[in-house]
Chains A and B, each alone.
Chain A
């Protein structure tokens, strides 16, 4: 029982530290900031607990797996907070419209090139996946690796892009 409660407590403390940091001043590299918080909280907690810990040595594997997997899930969820997903924006807009709903034209005023296409092109450059080359942009070595991996995964899972 102690292992589960300790892991949940560590996740809650990490999230609280992340919340306080973000409310004081959001870091420039947000993903890195979240990773730092979620790394240092358990490390510091472990060094304070030391020998007095009530945990069994065997529990550490399960605790680590849950903690790391939950942190990865949070990073995925945070991507929806940091950058607007078109689906989330549509749902928010339709929710705000209530029973009256929205026409296709009203929704087209929300999903625009400026709001969705341009920021994603910018993000590819910011993350070092594409770089200027001649008259346009080309994949960097890292970008090529990510793109090839995506192609392999799409083939493996039999998925086709759309919207």
Chain B
């Protein structure tokens, strides 16, 4: 039995593979749904695959009920982490300015690019407009009477989490 639990890692690996495949397929078949909606559907599909594979593998394993729950939790957490990594890889291609700059250098390769070109191509004002659009369409902020306000509880929690982590690691006022 000792080695059998090792095979359970197939569950989160197959889960993230399903997440990847569903995303690639939906990006072709349902592109108008938008990348965020597609991401949530593919993560849900990956989660379902992980759960199904875990259930099928655990049923024959001679382990206690407590171990069954703990092994399920451990492998579901592993899938959650792998799904989070994939989610961020996709998002980096949407919003990461560094990735966009790299693609700009690639498009002009082998002609060198001046910093001035980059500042003209990626002005801060454009970054601001893009972020405001995205945060509004995601329901994280809202605009009323020409003023923007935070509107989602989750986004408040995320903002507080990052502020706390930053203060904890880099010191207060950092």
Interface residues of A, Cβ cutoff 8 Å to B = 1, 3-5, 7, 18-19, 22-23, 26, 56-63, 65-66, 69-70, 72-73, 76-77, 80-81, 86-88, 90-92, 94-95, 97, 99-104, 107-108, 111-113, 115-117, 120-121, 123-124, 129-130, 133-139, 143-144, 146-148, 150-151, 153-154, 156-163
Contact = CB atoms under 8 A, between A and B. Distances in A.
A163 B127 contact: yes
Contact of B84 (A62, A76, A94, A144): A76
Interface in B94-133: 94-95, 97-103, 105-106, 109-115, 117-119, 122-133
Contacts of B75: 62, 65-66
Contact of A91 (B7, B146, B159): B159
A102 B12 CA distance: 43
A81 B166 contact: yes
B52 interface: no
B103 A108 contact: no
Interface of B: 1-9, 12-13, 23-24, 27-28, 31, 35, 38, 66-67, 70-71, 73-75, 77-78, 81-82, 84-85, 88-90, 92-95, 97-103, 105-106, 109-115, 117-119, 122-135, 140-141, 144, 146-150, 155-156, 158-160, 162-163, 165-166, 168-171
Contacts of B133: 162-163
Contacts of A70: 77, 81
Nearest to A127: B98
Contacts, number: 259
A73 to B, nearest CB: 5
Contacts of B106: 139, 144, 147-148, 151
10 contacts: A4-B71, A4-B74, A19-B169, A22-B170, A56-B5, A58-B6, A91-B159, A158-B28, A162-B94, A163-B134
A161 B99 contact: yes
Given A108-B128, A138-B112, A144-B106, A103 B163 contact: no
B128 A86 contact: yes
A40 B28 CA distance: 43
Given A111-B127, A161-B94, A163-B127, A139 B74 contact: no
B2 to A, nearest CB: 5
